[in-house]
């Protein structure tokens, strides 16, 4: 029995991804041990935060950093930082930013919902989101025309949730921002490259600690030293209810320290998914293949195309049956309406791909038996 089952929730097999709704990542023993040690000791948080910032800077190539309780908090805190700087009076009054430079420009195709609205996170930090262009097409002039004396920053969302085509590139956003002497903030929550956007010249970059890093529920901001200092100061304001504890900070830093030595495992991902596909290849109505992540990351998932006319059951119903069983099996279901189910190998514990294949067979056999 898992630690969660004793309190009521079912056991979960996560074939969806490192998703907040499923607890993000399962940390390794080194991270868990470090968190346990931190939980049983004391530290001055005022010393821990800047020390963590220095470690984050070393790991990312940035000037400084700021730990957060997650990437969503990072959006609110970064927004607040570019509005307030280190002015304590402003910090203590946010999210009320009336009369200040508070407009945050983002592309309309980036105004996404990742479980909550990106724009709501900006508003929590006192920002006034300004969406430019259309959902499927933004050009540089849309951004240029939106800049005025109230503009505090430009914001770029690097995510599979965002529209991938027709958007202005990061490089163009950087050029526009810096020509107008404005910071560019990048939300790179689930990105795997911790150096790329700092090298490109981004002023603040936000990451999740529980996604690619496989750390605890946490996050961090890295970038310019003046802005990171302003980020840390938000813990005296809107960041207070978003504060991250000593255990999470130490877990984050431990995961961050291990991340540099982590070896690419794309081939292992493909191998595991090929084994799963082999288990399902002879089932009429199911066509399997390997698909790379839609945002271009080195993530390779199993893609199952379900022909409901042959299987007698749609992809949507299969996914529902997987989720309502015990254990609950969660697959990646963004394309159910197109008859596609994806399975992400990264969060799967050893041998769980076999359990998923068995459950698929069971559901299809029950469907056939009920005809």
Query: What CATH code is carried by the domain that includes residue 207?
Result: 3.40.640.10
Q: Is residue 37 part of a domain?
A: no
Report pLDDT for 129.
98
pLDDT tens string for the chain (371 positions)?
778 888 888 888 898 888 778 777 788 899 999 999 999 999 999 999 999 999 999 999 999 999 999 999 999 999 999 999 999 999 999 999 999 999 999 999 999 988 899 999 999 999 999 999 999 999 999 999 999 999 999 999 998 888 888 999 999 999 999 999 999 999 999 898 999 999 999 999 999 998 888 999 999 999 999 999 999 999 999 999 999 999 999 999 999 999 987 777 788 888 999 998 998 888 888 998 898 887 677 888 999 999 999 888 999 999 999 999 898 999 998 889 999 999 999 888 888 999 999 998 999 888 866 65
Q: Is residue 350 part of a domain?
A: yes
Report pLDDT for 218.
95
- Angle, helix 225-233 to helix 45-60, in steps of 10 degrees: 150
Q: In this predicted model, what pLDDT tens digit does every residue of 43-65 receive, in sequence order?
A: 999 999 999 999 999 999 999 99
Q: Do 90 and 109 sit in the same domain of this protein?
A: yes
279: cis peptide before it, omega within 30°?
Answer: no
Q: How far apart are CA 356 and CA 349, in angstroms?
A: 11
Report pLDDT for 371.
56
Q: Is residue 212 part of a domain?
A: yes
Full-model pTM: 0.84
Q: Do 252 and 358 sit in the same domain of this protein?
A: no
Query: The tokens of 58 are what?
Result: 């070393």
Q: Do 231 and 82 sit in the same domain of this protein?
A: yes
Phi, psi of 364 (to 5 degrees): -70, -35
Q: Do 195 and 332 sit in the same domain of this protein?
A: no
Structural domain span for residue 223? 42-259
Domain stop point among 243, 259, 275: 259
Q: Do 53 and 197 sit in the same domain of this protein?
A: yes
Phi, psi of 326 (to 5 degrees): -140, 105
Q: Is residue 112 part of a domain?
A: yes
CB 241 within 8 A of CB 272: no
Q: Do 133 and 252 sit in the same domain of this protein?
A: yes
Q: How far apart are CA 25 and CA 19, in angstroms?
A: 8
Domain stop point among 238, 259, 280: 259
The count of domains in the chain is 2
Report pLDDT for 115.
86
Q: Do 157 and 217 sit in the same domain of this protein?
A: yes
Domain stop point among 208, 241, 259: 259
Q: Do 250 and 296 sit in the same domain of this protein?
A: no
Q: Do 177 and 307 sit in the same domain of this protein?
A: no
Report pLDDT for 7.
82
Q: Do 76 and 143 sit in the same domain of this protein?
A: yes
Q: Is residue 131 part of a domain?
A: yes
Q: Do 211 and 358 sit in the same domain of this protein?
A: no
Q: Is residue 172 part of a domain?
A: yes
Q: Do 153 and 269 sit in the same domain of this protein?
A: no
Q: How far apart are CA 128 and CA 155, in angstroms?
A: 12
Q: Is residue 342 part of a domain?
A: yes
Q: Is residue 28 part of a domain?
A: no
- Cα separations in angstroms, 116 against 121, 263, 297: 8, 32, 23
Query: What CATH code is carried by the domain that includes residue 303?
Result: 3.90.1150.180
Report pLDDT for 163.
86
- The SS3 assignment for 262 reads coil
């Amino acid at each position: 029995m898992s630690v969660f089952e004793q309190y009521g929730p079912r056991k979960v097999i996560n074939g969806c991804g490192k998703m907040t709704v499923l607890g993000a990542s399962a940390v390794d023993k080194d991270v868990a041990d470090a968190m346990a040690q931190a939980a049983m000791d004391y530290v001055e948080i005022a010393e821990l935060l800047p020390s963590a910032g220095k470690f984050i800077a070393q790991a990312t190539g940035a000037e400084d950093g700021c730990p957060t309780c997650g990437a969503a908090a990072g959006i609110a805190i970064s927004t607040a930082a570019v509005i307030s700087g280190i002015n304590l009076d402003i910090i203590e009054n946010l999210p009320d930013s009336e009369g200040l430079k508070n407009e945050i420009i983002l592309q309309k195709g980036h105004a996404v919902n990742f479980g909550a609205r990106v724009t709501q996170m900006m508003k929590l930090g006192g920002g006034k989101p300004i969406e430019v262009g259309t959902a499927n097409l933004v050009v540089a002039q849309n951004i240029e025309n939106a800049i005025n004396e109230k503009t505090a920053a430009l914001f770029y969302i690097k995510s599979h949730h965002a529209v991938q085509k027709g958007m202005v590139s990061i490089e163009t956003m950087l050029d526009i921002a810096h020509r107008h002497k404005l910071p560019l903030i990048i939300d790179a929550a689930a990105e795997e490259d911790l150096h790329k956007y700092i090298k490109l010249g981004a002023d603040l970059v936000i990451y999740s600690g529980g996604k690619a890093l496989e750390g605890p529920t946490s996050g961090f901001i890295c970038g310019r030293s003046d802005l990171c200092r302003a980020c840390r100061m938000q813990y005296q304001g809107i960041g207070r209810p978003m504060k991250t504890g000593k255990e999470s900070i130490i877990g984050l830093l431990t995961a961050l320290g291990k991340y540099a030595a982590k070896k690419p495992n794309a081939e292992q991902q493909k191998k595991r998914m090929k084994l799963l596909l082999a288990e399902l290849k002879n089932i009429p109505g199911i066509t399997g293949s390997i698909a790379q992540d839609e945002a271009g990351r080195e993530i390779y998932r199993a893609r199952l195309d379900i022909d409901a006319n042959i299987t007698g059951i749609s992809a949507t119903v299969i996914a529902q049956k997987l989720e309502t069983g015990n254990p609950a099996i969660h697959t990646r279901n963004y394309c159910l309406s197109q008859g596609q189910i994806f399975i992400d190998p990264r969060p799967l514990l050893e041998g769980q791909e076999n359990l998923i294949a068995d459950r698929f067979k069971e559901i299809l056999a029950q469907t056939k038996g009920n005809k």
